[in-house]
Amino acid sequence: MAARTGHLTVLRELAPYIWPAGRPDLRRRVVMAMVALIIAKAITLVVPIAYKSIVDLLTGEATGKEITAIGLAASPVFLIVAYGVGRVMMVLFAQFRDVWFTVVAQHAVRELANRTFRHLHELSLRFHLERRTGGLNRVIERGVTGVDTIVRMAVLNSIPTAVELVMISGLVAYYFGWIYVLVVLLTVGFYVAFTFWASERRIAIRRDMNDSDTEAHAKAVDSLLNYETVKYFGNEDHEARRFDSSMARYERAAIRTYTSLGLLNTGQAVIFTVGTVVCMLLAARDVASGALTIGGFVMINAILMQLYLPLNFMGMVYREIKQGLIDIETMFALLHEPPEIVDRPGAKPLRVTRGEIKFENVSFAYDPERQILKNVSFEVPAGKMVAIVGPSGAGKSTISRILFRFYELTGGRVSIDGQNISDVTQSSLRAAIGMVPQDTVLFNDTILYNIRYGRPEASDAELREAARLAQIHDFIMTLPQGYDALVGERGLKLSGGEKQRVAIARTILKAPPILMLDEATSALDSHTEKEIQDALERVARERTSLVIAHRLSTVVHADNIIVLDHGEIVEQGTHLELLAHGGLYASLWARQREADQARERLAQVLEHEPELESRAAERLEDEALAGN
């Protein structure tokens, strides 16, 4: 996972989303929200003044100057109604502010979420092979929530509180004198300082809580994605213990978080209460000396109570902003994760005229100490089929990833029709190649969606024809929902052969000039394999095809067979030429033939004597019990 970025960097990157360029409509909303904010705060200050005037009129302490100032409004009933209207208007303009700014906030959330999603698809295969899907999903989920929190809290709470504090200071200075202002500012200063100090101490606890939450979520998703494996080995209790250990860590961090929150709230209440008591003592003294009316005493208390709510929000806002920053700093770090593979400046689209592929002295290593391919050179002539075979770990699948440019070469070059694939755009390169992988993973959607994924704009007729060529149409029509049947998570509702046929149909629909088949029939039985092989041969006709094969019987008709071992080409030729050579290919062929013949003999025996199958199972069970 990428390292976290700094808070200031995060805030700088958020700013353009709050004041988005090229969106005058959103900028107008920001301005309107700020105007509504100022009006709401101005009304907030008028309310205590009306409250003071009401009390002074009712107690008979209103001075002639005050009565003259309020003129016709010198009526308790009128002032009480005005007080009520003021409170309603205060809430109304605050709601206007929130509604107008919500559009800006949600636009920022959407843009950042989309930017992160796009960036994740730009990152290299190496990054995605090393990631933990559940943890990454949790980081993005918390990050999006954090963006919303920061944008709303910073603009809708922090700025209004600061504006209100300035206005209240002027009001208190006018009505009560600078000694009161000093007490109010000291109270606010101690309150804010304590809040910042206590919140900073809670940051480490919050980080620990987030890390344990991410870990627990990653383990849960990983376990559920491997549901069948868990069942095969009966490790439900083991998975539950792993998950519970992460949740126990989360539990401890959560308890510490809420305990520290209780201490923070208590400290804030003590500081503000002390400031309020001091101001009220000063007001009581001034009332006793005749320098202040009862209305003034009530007014200072109303002002402080009115200040307490946004000030209390300020403490909460600071905590939420800090916690939101923690939540999104990892997401922003993901945005700063550089893509390993990028289009070179001036890269042009690949132009496929014939479809000829050349590997020239290609070397590749995942890391310097593990060399995978060593000066590999071969050619796939236009319209021909070339197969790559060899023992496990020889580097066969690495060739397909290099052709798709998932990795940069450490040496040599790969070209299509004379164009170096490193000099063309990635999108045009991948659009020209159709891939049927060994391990087919489908989207948790309908069969229709998964086939149409090869070419989203394809017509229904084209889609069904692709399914027929892949020998999957008849099966689909037997399903109650037909093409609208859901395939389940990772396609688990389909058998391995059915998933492979869907993948083949998807590639047929894409109709690329170059085909890449990576163990495309490895998940199929012998009968189905023959049907699919016939379909693939029809599809591959007049197309350049590169086939990676484990079952040698599937590539006997290839125009050329390349034998790879330990990252080097040790043999190449047609099937008959390689058998006559008597090298590694002939050895692999002999072993596979022996294995196939043994399976055939076993199938024949079991067909005539099915009780042998149950005896073999009993024997395996007895051996397992003896081992325990």
pLDDT digits (tens, 9 = 90+) for 191-205: 888 887 887 777 677
Query: Which pTM does this prediction carry?
Result: 0.63
Contact status, residue 262 vs residue 205, Cβ threshold 8 Å: no
Give the pLDDT score at 76: 65
HSE at residue 302, side-chain half, CA atoms within 13 A, is 21
Residue 358 has pLDDT above 90, yes or no: yes
> Mean of the pLDDT values across residues 516-520?
76
| Residue 22 within any structural domain of the chain | yes
In the chain, the number of structural domains is: 2
Cα 306 from Cα 114, distance rounded (Å): 40
First-to-last CA distance in the chain? 41
With 0-12 CB in 10 A as exposed, 13-18 as middle and 19+ as buried, what is 301?
middle
Q: Which two tokens stand for residue 387?
A: 């197969």
pLDDT per position as a tens digit, 449-485: 989 988 888 898 999 988 988 888 988 999 889 989 8
Task: Encode burial over 25-58: b for 16+ CB neighbours within 10 A, e otherwise.
Answer: ebeebbeebbebbebbbebbbebbbbbbbbbbbe
More confident residue, 440 or 426: 426
More confident residue, 168 or 476: 476
| Residue 432 within any structural domain of the chain | no
Return the residue matching tokens 């109010």: 184
Give the pLDDT score at 234: 78
Give the pLDDT score at 359: 93
> Mean of the pLDDT values across residues 397-419?
89
Phi first, then psi, for residue 371 (nearest 5°) are -80, 125
Give the pLDDT score at 603: 63
**Residue in 297, 278, 274 with CA at minimum distance from that of residue 286:** 297
Instruction: Give the H/E segment covering residue 108.
Output: helix 76-122
| Residue 563 within any structural domain of the chain | no
Give the pLDDT score at 623: 46
| Residue 517 within any structural domain of the chain | no
Residue 78 has pLDDT above 90, yes or no: no
Helices 159-175 and 24-59, packing angle to 10 deg: 30
| Residue 511 within any structural domain of the chain | no
Residue 357 has pLDDT above 90, yes or no: yes
Mean pLDDT, rounded, of the chain: 79
Give the pLDDT score at 132: 57
More confident residue, 157 or 422: 422
Cα 389 from Cα 387, distance rounded (Å): 6
> Mean of the pLDDT values across residues 213-231?
78
Q: Which two tokens stand for residue 1?
A: 């996972």
> Mean of the pLDDT values across residues 393-419?
87
Contact status, residue 576 vs residue 401, Cβ threshold 8 Å: no
- Same domain, yes or no, for 306 and 187? yes
Cα 103 from Cα 157, distance rounded (Å): 16
Return the residue matching tokens 């029809």: 538
pLDDT per position as a tens digit, 561-581: 999 988 889 999 999 999 998
Confidence bin at 617 (pLDDT 50/70/90): very low
pLDDT per position as a tens digit, 300-330: 887 887 777 777 766 667 767 777 777 777 7
- Same domain, yes or no, for 317 and 458? no
Looking at 301, 335, 369, the residue that finishes a domain is 335
DSSP 217-234: HHHHHHHHHTHHHHHHHT
Looking at 471, 486, 504, the residue that finishes a domain is 504
More confident residue, 256 or 316: 256
Q: Cα angle vertex 554, ends 548, 560, to 5°?
A: 60
- Same domain, yes or no, for 325 and 457? no
Q: What share of the chain in percent tops pLDDT 70?
A: 82
- Same domain, yes or no, for 319 and 466? no
Q: Which two tokens stand for residue 602?
A: 């076993």
- Same domain, yes or no, for 59 and 178? yes
Confidence bin at 67 (pLDDT 50/70/90): very low
Contact status, residue 385 vs residue 460, Cβ threshold 8 Å: no
CA distances from 530 to 470, 533, 600 (A): 12, 5, 16
- Same domain, yes or no, for 96 and 245? yes
Task: Encode burial over 1-12: b for 16+ CB neighbours within 10 A, e otherwise.
Answer: ebebbeeeebee
- Same domain, yes or no, for 322 and 450? no
| Residue 622 within any structural domain of the chain | no
| Residue 374 within any structural domain of the chain | no
More confident residue, 464 or 59: 464
Residues 6+ apart with CB under 8 A from 109: 144, 147, 148, 151
Residues 6+ apart with CB under 8 A from 512: 431, 432, 433, 434, 543
Residue 419 has pLDDT above 90, yes or no: yes
CATH number at 152 reads 1.20.1560.10
Contact status, residue 308 vs residue 272, Cβ threshold 8 Å: yes
Give the pLDDT score at 370: 77
pLDDT per position as a tens digit, 604-614: 665 666 555 55
- Same domain, yes or no, for 160 and 306? yes
Give the pLDDT score at 2: 45
Looking at 483, 504, 525, the residue that finishes a domain is 504
**Strand-pair category, 370-380 with 357-367:** antiparallel
Give the pLDDT score at 424: 92
More confident residue, 180 or 526: 180
- Same domain, yes or no, for 313 and 461? no
Task: Note down the domain range covering 483.
Answer: 444-504
Give the pLDDT score at 3: 46
> Mean of the pLDDT values across residues 434-461?
86
More confident residue, 2 or 228: 228
Residue 254 has pLDDT above 90, yes or no: no
Instruction: Tabulate helix, strand, coil % of the chain (nearest 5).
Output: 70, 10, 20
C-alpha torsion sign, points 62, 67, 69, 73: positive
| Residue 496 within any structural domain of the chain | yes
Neighbours of 315 (CB within 10 A): 21
More confident residue, 8 or 134: 8
Give the pLDDT score at 415: 93
> Mean of the pLDDT values across residues 140-156?
74
pLDDT per position as a tens digit, 104-114: 888 888 888 78
- Same domain, yes or no, for 319 and 453? no
pLDDT per position as a tens digit, 11-33: 777 778 778 888 888 888 888 88
Give the pLDDT score at 533: 72
